[in-house]
Amino acid sequence: MKIAIVQQNYHIGNFEHNRNKIVEAIEKAKSDQADLVLFSELCVCGYPPRDFLEFDDFIAKCYESIELIKAHSNGIGVIIGSPQRNFLPEGKDLFNSAVFLYDQQIIGVANKSLLPTYDVFDEYRYFEPSNEWKVIEFKGERIALTICEDIWNLTENPLYRVSPMELLIRENPTLLINVTASPFDYDHDDDRKEIILANIQKYHIPIIYCNTVGAQTEIIFDGGSLVFDRSGKLCKELKYFEEDYYLAVTESITDAPADEANKYEFVDERVARLKESNKVLTYLTTDKNISQIYNALILGIRDYFTKMGFSKATLGASGGIDSAVVQALAVAALGKENVHVLLMPSQYSSGHSIADAEQLTQNLGNTADVLAIKDIYDQYISTLQPVFDHLPFSIAEENLQSRIRGNLLMAFANKFDYILLNTSNKSELAVGYGTLYGDMTGGLSILGDLYKTQVFALAKFINRGDNVIPENILTKAPSAELREGQKDTDALPEYNVLDRVLYEYIERRKGPKDIIGLGFETALVNRVLKLVNTAEYKRNQFCPILRVSRKAFGVGRRMPIVGKYLA
């Protein structure tokens, strides 16, 4: 049997767009004489639809799309993902389903059993888990049709009491198909191969894994659909961060011997690196990770603009590493003609910062304006003087400069229909080193899930073919330049230390004793963790962050604002 694997980029709630893509791929599969064509989880409506699922009209449009797609299933099997109604009074009103179409009929439906409710996932909020498990017979194959999480319960500490494959394997399936919407992080492609291999080792069955691609606000899907034969050999890996199509032949993957010696050998370097804290930064900044992050961010920016109906971006160019990287990414994603930056020097801005920002803009070829803020700042100070009452210069005066810049950027964005890109990094957001309504302003955060050390590595990656980002930006000490001679290290530990502590706390969820046990100073750890927890109110007001790690700020990390833990 020939099976077409279709890896596509969908738009949440854009039913006609999604449907047209699906139908076009069905017709291509027909022309390739495919017997079956696969699409990804909830492809009909886009993933994750979130509270759109609470609208009857939204569900009705899903059913309408299924009917229209079904009309194209003459002579070919089609598996699509869509919500389906649960007609039993007990439980949630919807299933997350894979619908099997053939000859303009629905010949089978597989409902998702394991509903993730962690990190960015919230599926049990909307869906009822499956209550039956049956293989679907089609053209000589007995297909175990599963959806995403359904194959992920083979860990040492399983999240679920029931594993769907334990029930499906009793019906002697010959092929496991998994349709999924599996988000990107810079470890996850390895995780997928590990879990697929674990299923093959346990059930001795070939697996076809069809993933979606594209960005949905902060969540990025990287594709990388997979075909493994029953011996554990990786037969095909589809493109990452791009749409793709592949025609698999079941005979080549089901006839392979289930021989232990032939199994796919997977080497996970993370384990060794993460056992030692001093290797964490090496791991986070490896060429593989940074290359993936670059491609993910480009896709995230491009899809956010396309799906929101915008084309142009602006940002504040400070001459610092963060804004330089965001500017370079924006030009790569949107084109130099669609990026305009504002240089907004104050009396505390160094001459080299202005020169560096101008040189970067020249190198990238985008446009820029210089709007000096000294006069505006002086007017603010004059206006506030009666209430400031000659008190010494403090963070209040520093933040005024940042807020002036934020206002100018938003005014420019509003006037010319631009989206303002935020340039804060994860290290700064973690410890609250940013100004609400100032440098924390923006419509989309590009670097909010990258530690400062990763930002430097990303800058070097951008410069790999040509020194687009001036060398001085890469080598000078980071500074907000809000007062004379200011450096980030006046308020924060060195980033190569800070980022290691933050990673242990945020990504690995280690407590203070465990982190201190890795060799960090007690006072430093206590101070950093307190900064993280007390800055939650700032992050709660922040814009969406493109997610590239296992634990990003935003929907995947939900903390109380008024909590006292470690604060």
Which is catalytic among the residues 43, 45, 62, 148? 148
| Backbone angles phi and psi of 173, in degrees to 5 | -70, 150
433 marked as part of a ligand binding site: no
Q: Is 42 left (phi over 0), alpha (psi -120 to 50) or beta?
A: left
317 marked as part of a ligand binding site: yes
- For 87-111, b/e burial (b = at least 16 CB within 10 A) is eeeeebbbbbbbbbbbeeeeebbbb
307 is catalytic: no
365 marked as part of a ligand binding site: no
351 marked as part of a ligand binding site: no
Report H helices in 170-311.
188-203, 250-254, 270-274, 280-284, 287-308
Amino acid at 523: A
Give the end-to-end CA distance of the chain in Å, rounded to a whole number.
60
Structure tokens at 515: 């982190």
255 marked as part of a ligand binding site: no
Residue 403 belongs to what H/E stretch? helix 395-416
465 marked as part of a ligand binding site: no
CB 436 within 8 A of CB 541: yes
27 is catalytic: no
182 marked as part of a ligand binding site: yes
| Backbone angles phi and psi of 57, in degrees to 5 | -65, -40
- For 167-179, b/e burial (b = at least 16 CB within 10 A) is ebbeeebbbbbbb
CB 399 within 8 A of CB 372: no
118 marked as part of a ligand binding site: yes
538 marked as part of a ligand binding site: yes
Query: Which DSSP category does 554 fall into?
Result: B
112 is catalytic: yes
323 marked as part of a ligand binding site: yes
423 marked as part of a ligand binding site: yes
Residue 179: C-alpha distances to residues 40, 95, 482, 520 (Å): 5, 15, 51, 44
CB atoms within 10 A of CB 507: 19
Which is catalytic among the residues 112, 193, 426, 510? 112
549 marked as part of a ligand binding site: no
DSSP symbols for 148-194: GGGG---SSS-S-S--HHHHHGGG--SEEEEEE--B--TTHHHHHHH
Specify binding-site residues: 118, 182, 316-323, 399, 423, 428, 538
Specify binding-site residues for ATP: 316-323, 423
As annotated, the active-site residues are 41, 112, 148
Specify binding-site residues for deamido-NAD(+): 399, 428, 538
Specify binding-site residues for L-glutamine: 118, 182
